[in-house]
Amino acid sequence: MHRHANQLRLGEVPKSRSGRWEAIAAPGASLFLWREFLPPSRATSSLKNLQQQVLWQRDTVKVYGKEHPVPRLHQWYGDPGTAYTWSGITMQPQPWSDELVKLRRAVERATRRAFDSVLVNLYRNGHDCMGWHADNEPVFGKRPVIASLSLGAERDFVLRARADHSQKVVISLPHGSLLVMAGETQARWQHALPRRKKVTSPRINLTFRKFM
Ligand SMILES: O=C(O)CCC(=O)C(=O)O
């Protein structure tokens, strides 16, 4: 992983807290990581609450006419009117739970951004994963700010430049960390959460988003 604190673009993250954010170097992308965003005990209680309380959904996607199970569980929460369609699946927003409201507030304070929806993913173990994609749906605008909170097993998050797939950045996302993807990240890069077969414990990731 490459980090250059001097490349932090102030204005995209709050100045008062900028010492806590690391800028991740990836040409054309704007990526900021706050490793110890949630104290471990708070992160662990949120992980447990979400594991129990989220109405986990198991979906399939059609690839070349064949149905495949999505290799993770998920759910979509948001304000009314924030239905989300990706890979042919339309998810109607569930109402925010108390746990999700608390997490959203903490993320909004840290980023000084408002979010109206969140995709919650459960990777049951290292066999669960997410393939290459960008969160570039027009409903999130041209330069979406997406705040990604990680709870549980530390997993590699990999980005590759659209123009040159050999240009890659790997970020290991620890328990309680908050990653912000902003600016041209979705337009110029794709990301994935690769399979890591040695990982035996679960991870929950929440990507907070805002409809335009
Ligand atoms: O689990 C992660 O860290 C990635 C999630 C992701 O890529 C997404 O929700 O679009």
* pLDDT grade for 62, boundaries at 50, 70 and 90: confident
Mean pLDDT over residues 91-111, rounded? 97
User: pLDDT digit string (tens) for 137-188?
Assistant: 999 999 999 999 999 999 999 999 999 999 999 999 999 999 999 999 999 9
* pLDDT grade for 64, boundaries at 50, 70 and 90: confident
Residue 2 predicted with pLDDT over 70? no
* pLDDT grade for 87, boundaries at 50, 70 and 90: confident
Question: Given this model, what pLDDT does residue 3 score?
Answer: 39
Domains identified in the chain and CATH numbers = 5-209 (2.60.120.590)
Closest Cα to atom 1 of ligand 1: 205
Lowest mean pLDDT: which of 62-66, 175-179, 188-192?
62-66
Distance 150 CA to ligand 1 centre (A): 9
Contacts 24+ apart (CB under 8 A), 48-56: 49/99, 50/99, 50/100, 50/120, 50/122, 50/151, 50/204, 51/122, 51/202, 51/204, 53/97, 53/99, 54/97, 54/120, 54/122, 55/94, 56/122
Beta bridge partners of 90: 85
**Contact between residue 185 and residue 29 where contact means Cβ atoms under 8 Å apart:** yes
User: pLDDT digit string (tens) for 5-27?
Assistant: 333 344 555 554 556 999 999 99
Mutate to test the pocket of ligand 1, among 123, 157, 169 (most ligand atoms within 8 A of CB): 157
What percentage of the chain exceeds 90 in pLDDT?
Answer: 86
Mutate to test the pocket of ligand 1, among 47, 72, 74, 193 (most ligand atoms within 8 A of CB): 193
Distance 171 CA to ligand 1 centre (A): 12
